[in-house]
Chains A and B, each alone.
Chain A
């Protein structure tokens, strides 16, 4: 596996809400075309980290960020077009959020927001993304019914389709399997393995075994600090560099 190109470079990232610092200086890189797993217990700063990446943290008025994040080599804090940055990063939230629009409009929302209006183009994007998210077969006959009427698992795949609709270079999944059944989870995991050929995937999960199954490299984040970052095999081996990692991965704490 060639780990040459860096998709994301993070240097000394610190984040605090008010006076409380929740991320204490993270420095790491994420390479192109890898699945990068982030594991760690609740409240360890995983979701906040993702929100820093696409700068939706800006909406949190109490949050202050310092440090540097480079996506595809350019500093995201200096970017002129924040919307283009967000389109470059697909984001899937823990709980499935079908927008109260039709299934078609859910997926077409992002392309439309960026100014695409041609019906044929939109059609092809919707079809392609729903296929990529393994949802097409189930919904192709009812594209114009409400997205919120789908089941939880279907809505989560709809969310993934929507995250793919703006052709991101990086896809972030934040504990995507929290609200869906194991069968659907497995289907989505298969989808991710497919997608990996084309894009970089950041997989935040509190199911350690999911990271083990999917990730190329895994980072163990705890209370806003990186405890250990290494290839998944080492993290999940009998002898990771840090004993805490071993304890967490084997369910001794956390």
Chain B
């Protein structure tokens, strides 16, 4: 194509000093922010690498399924691992339905009045209560007042109340992402609120709801303080690899508390044992979260509208 104008369009403008300066600031800030973002991630990768490196001597399948030996100075973490599974499953079995129903109430039923604003504030504050305060509550309410004693039940209930507000928040967000016209279309043909929720709202937000719940699996698994004073013990004798070693009214070991114990309370532990415990806890948590994220991405790509 012949050039009709012999001037390169870019050269028709000369950059003023102001423009040059503003472009320089632009590139400096861009680099600065990039460095900030990266400086958050790089040290962390190094730290995780460091943990792995020190954990290597102990990391094996045996470490996972073996019970602790010689006063926790040797052996594995099986009772703690199973204990954590117990706590997570039971607490979410309680928190998930209540949380999802509460979110359905807040998002689908609640009118904008003072009472529901108070519920909203309660959820927000519940989410911000420090975990040690939850521990105090669990101790006062479940262990003593309800007389469940130090037990898996007390600990799981405490964890349930702790995870509840986050499940409510994530479920609400998922429900709110379903466009309003879908609901109106359903109401217009004479469907009740619940029929609308069941047929259209929940099926189209289930991915978000599930992701929110799965993310709480990892949170419940990692929490230490709330279980430490309500149901977790330093040591509990369990058979190697035994699948159902605990009763609801018994105390159990928990991975998070086990890490705290071997890292701070037991002298002369083989060095790699706390590292390996930390790595197992970290990896379980990150795997569950990665799974939830993968589920969310997959479902987002299969969205129906």
Identify the A interface with B (CB < 8 A): 54, 56, 59, 61, 83-87, 90-91, 93, 95, 97-101, 109-110, 113-114, 146, 148, 159, 162-163, 165-166
Contacts and interface: CB of A to CB of B under 8 A. Distances in A.
Contacts of A148: 304-305
Interface of B: 111-113, 181-182, 184-192, 195, 199-200, 203-204, 304-305
Given A100-B200, A146-B304, A113 B190 contact: yes
A97 B182 contact: yes
A54 B200 CA distance: 20
A83 B192 contact: yes
Contact of B190 (A87, A93, A101): A87
A99 B187 contact: no
Contacts of B305: 98, 100, 148
B288 to A, nearest CB: 28
Contacts of B184: 56, 59, 93, 97
A61 B189 contact: no
A86 B190 contact: yes
Given A61-B113, A100-B305, A148-B304, A83 B190 contact: yes
Contacts of A61: 111-113
A109 B186 contact: yes
Contacts of A100: 182, 200, 203-204, 304-305
B187 A86 contact: yes
Contacts of A97: 181-182, 184-185
Given A86-B188, A101-B199, A113-B199, 4 more contacts: A61-B112, A99-B199, A100-B200, A110-B191
Nearest to B200: A99
Contacts of A93: 181, 184-185, 188
A85 B190 CA distance: 7
Contacts of B186: 99, 109, 113
A56 B187 contact: yes
A101 B195 contact: no
Contacts of B204: 100
Nearest to B192: A83
Contacts of A163: 188-189
A95 B204 CA distance: 20
